[in-house]
Amino acid sequence: MSEPYTPPKVWKWETGATGGFFAKINRPIAGPTHEKELPVGKHPLQLYSLGTPNGAKVTILLEELLAAGFGGAEYDAWLIRIDTGDQFGSGFVEINPNSKIPALLDRSMDPPLRVFESGSILLYLADKFGAFVPHDVAGRAECLNWLFWQMASTPILGGGFGHFYAYAPEKYEYPINRYTMEVKRQLDVLDRQLADRPYIAGEQYTIADMAIWPWYGGVVTDRIYSAAEFLEAHSYTNVLRWAHHIAERPAVKRGRRVNTAELQERHDAGDFAGVGGPATAD
Ligand SMILES: N[C@@H](CCC(=O)N[C@@H](CS)C(=O)NCC(=O)O)C(=O)O
Domain 13-132+266-282 coded CATH 3.40.50.2300: no
Residues 162 and 87: their CA atoms lie apart, in Å, by 21
State in Å: Cα 52 to ligand 1 middle.
Answer: 9
- Give the residue among 115, 121, 119, 128 at the shortest CA–CA distance from 146: 119
Residue 176 Cα to chain centre, angstroms = 22
pLDDT band of 14, cuts 50, 70, 90:
confident
Give the nearest ligand 1 atom to 80 CA: 12
Class of domain 137-247: mainly alpha
Residue 75 pairs with which residues in a beta bridge?
45
Please work out whether the CB of residue 54 comes within 6 Å of at least one atom of ligand 1: yes
* Interior/surface letters 40-60, b for 16+ CB within 10 angstroms, e for the rest: ebebbbbbbbbbbbbbbbbbb
Task: State the DSSP H helix or E strand holding residue 69, giving kind and residue range, or none if neither.
Answer: none
| CA dihedral angle for residue 279, residue 280, residue 281, residue 282, rounded to 10 degrees | -110
| CA dihedral angle for residue 222, residue 224, residue 229, residue 234, rounded to 10 degrees | -50
State in Å: Cα 203 to ligand 1 middle.
Answer: 30
pLDDT band of 1, cuts 50, 70, 90:
low
Would you kindly state where each structural domain of the chain is located, as residue ranges?
13-132+266-282, 137-247
Tell me how crowded residue 135 is: count the other CB atoms within 10 A of its CB. Answer: 8
pLDDT at 281 over 60: no
Residue nearest to atom 1 of ligand 1 (CA): 117
State in Å: Cα 4 to ligand 1 middle.
Answer: 30
Residue 199 pairs with which residues in a beta bridge?
202
Q: Specify whether the backbone of 9 is left (phi greater than 0), alpha (psi in -120 to 50) or beta.
A: alpha
Residue 113 pairs with which residues in a beta bridge?
106
pLDDT band of 18, cuts 50, 70, 90:
low
24 with 233: CB under 8 angstroms? no
pLDDT at 257 over 60: yes
Ligand 1 pocket mutation pick from 101, 122, 260 by most atoms within 8 angstroms of CB:
101
Please work out whether the CB of residue 100 comes within 6 Å of at least one atom of ligand 1: yes
pLDDT band of 279, cuts 50, 70, 90:
very low
**pLDDT at position 107, please?**
98
Please work out whether the CB of residue 82 comes within 6 Å of at least one atom of ligand 1: yes
Q: Which tens digits make up the pLDDT trace of 97-148?
A: 999 999 999 999 999 999 999 999 999 999 999 999 999 999 999 999 999 9
Residue nearest to atom 13 of ligand 1 (CA): 100
Please work out whether the CB of residue 150 comes within 6 Å of at least one atom of ligand 1: no
pTM summary value: 0.95
